[in-house]
Amino acid sequence: MRALTVDHSVPSRLRLTEVPDPVPAAHEVLVEVSAASVNPGEVQGLLPHAPDGVVPGWEAAGVVRRAAADGSGPPVGTRV
Does 12 have pLDDT greater than 90?
no
Q: Per-residue pLDDT for 17 more than 90?
A: yes
> How far is residue 78's CA from residue 62's CA, in Å, rounded to a whole number?
8
Domains of the chain, by residue range, sit at 2-66
pTM: 0.77
Could you please report the per-residue DSSP string of 7-18? Answer: -TTSTTSEEEEE
Q: Report pLDDT for 40.
A: 84
* Average pLDDT over the chain, rounded to an integer: 91
Is 64 in contact with 75 (CB distance < 8 Å)?
Answer: yes
More confident site: 16 or 57: 16
**pLDDT at position 43, please?**
78
pLDDT of 56 above 90: no
